[in-house]
Amino acid sequence: MKICIIGSTGHYNYVLEGLKGDHAARIAGVTPGSKGERVDSLYSIIKKDYPGARLYDDYCRMLDELNPDIAVVCCFFGDHAKVASEVLKRGIHLFVEKPVATTMEDLHMLKEMYDKSGVLLAAMLGLRYAPWFLAAWKTVKEGKIGQVRLMNAQKSYKLGNRGEHYKKRETYGGTIPWVGSHAIDWIYWFSGKKFVSVYSSHTNHFNSEHGDLEVTALCHFAMEDEVFASVSIDYMRPAAAREHGDDRIRVVGTKGIVEVRSSEAYLFSEDTGENISLSLPGGQSIFGDFLKEVRKEGKCLVSAEDSFYVTEACIKARMSADENRIVYF
């Protein structure tokens, strides 16, 4: 099975990790996906395990010459939809960085192309596979907290020194779609409810001269059955912190509460009467599961429908913040 990678800006590590021990798949080619994007470092890494991999400077030529089974798109975020459309046009399975698009026009275009393609698509919502989130989700799905009523999710990152494409809305797409997409996915995934409306705020104040990049954002979602959720997003994590990110979720149900914090998962319910630490599963990988689905051997936790719907929610949340109004679904 041949795999090509377009871009080196996103989470290509999902692919490298998912391929470990898989001797029936190989990376055949690498190329930039955006103007000014460099893939030299990624290509050096790939050549060690896949010496036959070729370096291209044009992703359309690479797709046409190598005709891969799967294309991985992880270029500048504003180019995701444009590059992904070329993959779908050629009937190639697509593993694409989130958000899959940064405008509603691009999202509609991509959905139409996908519907005609007959291939599989999954966005890189890989934190569903983090053991602590997977353990918490399974606990909720088993009904141990009853009916979900309220959720609070958090994404907090260090800012550091970001590349130029982060500093312009047209190439970056906004902090809500980029950083917030994981948390917005969690509240959809944990609740199983559709979005009804969103009201958001964001600002680029104190962003250390990073142009348009918003460093704080807050979203309030109303969902089906009067389930409510908040999403807190920031780039304000101190540089001295041991970990780069601080991911959390609190899911409140009619019979208990599940929380994820500090890479652990906890359950507090009527049955336990106290916080108990949940056992964490291991050994699963989003790209490994995507490979299995392509081979008809399994199912990826992230579907094309999930990928498109979470992207829509991200874009509408950003729209709400830009326009200072409630946006309805």
What domains does the chain contain, in order, with CATH numbers? 2-119 (3.40.50.720), 128-281+302-328 (3.30.360.10)
What pLDDT score was predicted for residue 47?
Answer: 97
pLDDT tens digits, 55-65 = 999 999 999 99
Please check the confidence at residue 324 and state whether its pLDDT lies above 80.
Answer: yes
Please check the confidence at residue 160 and state whether its pLDDT lies above 80.
Answer: yes
Instruction: Give exposure, 85-96, as e/b (b: 16+ Cβ within 10 Å).
Output: bbbbebebbbbb
What value does the mean pLDDT take over residues 173-181? 98
Alpha helices in 211-260 (DSSP H): none
52, 28 Cβ separation under 8 angstroms: yes
What dihedral angle (degrees, nearest 10) is formed by the CA atoms of 18, 309, 166, 129?
-30
What value does the mean pLDDT take over residues 220-235? 98
Two tokens, residue 263: 């890479």
Please check the confidence at residue 210 and state whether its pLDDT lies above 90.
Answer: yes
What pLDDT score was predicted for residue 284?
Answer: 86
What pLDDT score was predicted for residue 85?
Answer: 98
Encoded amino acid at 79, one letter: D
Alpha helices in the chain (DSSP H): 13-18, 40-49, 59-66, 80-89, 104-117, 131-141, 169-172, 175-178, 180-191, 286-294, 304-323
What pLDDT score was predicted for residue 137?
Answer: 98
What value does the mean pLDDT take over residues 116-140? 98
**Mean per-residue pLDDT of the chain:** 97
201, 322 Cβ separation under 8 angstroms: no
Residue in this structure with the two tokens 């609190």, named with its chain if needed? 250
In whole angstroms, what is the distance from residue 273 CA to residue 268 CA? 7
Q: Are strands 26-31 and 54-55 parallel, antiparallel or unpaired?
A: parallel
Please check the confidence at residue 107 and state whether its pLDDT lies above 80.
Answer: yes
In a 3-state reduction of DSSP, which class is residue 11? coil
3, 294 Cβ separation under 8 angstroms: no
What pLDDT score was predicted for residue 34?
Answer: 98
What value does the mean pLDDT take over residues 124-151? 97
Q: How far is CA 128 from the centre of its chain?
A: 9
With cut-offs at 50, 70 and 90, classify the pLDDT of residue 270. Answer: confident
Two tokens, residue 49: 């395990």
What pLDDT score was predicted for residue 218?
Answer: 98
In whole angstroms, what is the distance from residue 183 CA to residue 128 CA? 10
What pLDDT score was predicted for residue 283?
Answer: 74
What value does the mean pLDDT take over residues 101-128? 98
What value does the mean pLDDT take over residues 24-48? 97
Please check the confidence at residue 219 and state whether its pLDDT lies above 90.
Answer: yes
What value does the mean pLDDT take over residues 5-33? 96
In a 3-state reduction of DSSP, which class is residue 306? helix
Residue in this structure with the two tokens 């950003």, named with its chain if needed? 318
What value does the mean pLDDT take over residues 150-167? 97
What pLDDT score was predicted for residue 271?
Answer: 81
